[in-house]
Amino acid sequence: MTSEQTPLGSGFGPATTATEALDNADLHGRTAIVTGGYSGLGLETVRVLTGAGARVIVPARDRQKAEQALGGLAGVEILPMDLNKSESVADFAAAIVGRAEPVHLLVNAAGIMATPLSRDEEGHEGQWSTNHLGHFRLTCGLWPALVQAGGARLVSYSSRGHQIAPVDFDDIDFERRPYDKWVAYGQSKTANVLFALALDRRGREAGVRAFSLHPGTVLGPLARHLSAEEIARFNVHDAEGNVVVAPERDLKSAEQGAATGIWCAVSPLLEGKGGLYCEDCDVAPMAPEDGPGRYGVKAWAVDPEAAERLWAVSTRMTGLDLG
């Protein structure tokens, strides 16, 4: 699988916007679900998808906030869901599947980053629960609708943060090791990549293909748990305190940050492909084995054995599987 991590020469790059990455695709008659679709990159994703004619369903923990953010967009439906609560995710998925209509695109863009230690209702570490388990539950619940589409794509938002840490299968929930908010974030982002790899293997015969991605460094709601000192280390502000947009340094606007997700969702270059990690609107190369490689994907995140181990662990934690 790692040998397939070779750029395709898409013609796009770090400065490409989501509208440009859409490349005039016509999405009329398509239904998409976008988690995190009422803020940050998720909101920009919804804006571009609806602009291309798609009907977009946005799960929302805070309906009032979602309505305020999405009020001016036609073709959007807001339904209640809390990604961190298993019953809420199950209810949302059941409502969608109960319509007996296909879901052509599932964009798992919601996430949290570097949070203080918290645990969900079942005792799982908070970043793992929200960033991975919630989306695992959602995908399993929506599976019949994805298969019904006869050519669905799943887009899993990861991050270069996956390079911080692989999944520690011996202590995922930090029950024995000291909690480190960045290590927890890193393993959850590695899980986002491994999840797409494992899902793609299971879905390809049914026409469901999956991709993961790094969107770029975008200063937005994801950074809400960081201190001013921590944000300063990312060099995202100039001397006057303005947010820097320098895509050549991976510092992107929301329009640029949402581009790779849109490209994964619609690009004809990805037909017949799947399980790939992408960045800058192309398939990413492998990152160096040693050291903190800035670009590309670490081998631990595209390891088929680790992907299968993740799937088994996720099934055990949630009691769910496809079908």
Length of the chain: 323
Round to whole Å and give the CA distance between 39 and 66: 8
Partners of residue 107 on adjacent β-strands: 34, 155
Residue 62, both tokens: 């805070």
Q: Is 295 considered catalytic here?
A: no
The closest of 175, 167, 209 to 192, measured between CA atoms, is 167
Strands 282-283 and 276-279: antiparallel
Q: Which of 38, 157, 179, 185 is catalytic?
A: 185
- What DSSP string runs through 149-214? TTS-EEEEE--GGGGG----TT-TT-SSSPP-HHHHHHHHHHHHHHHHHHHHHHHGGGT-EEEEEE
Going across the sheet that includes 276-279, the strands are: 76-80, 55-60, 31-35, 105-108, 153-157, 209-214, 276-279, 282-283
Which residues are the active-site residues?
A: 185
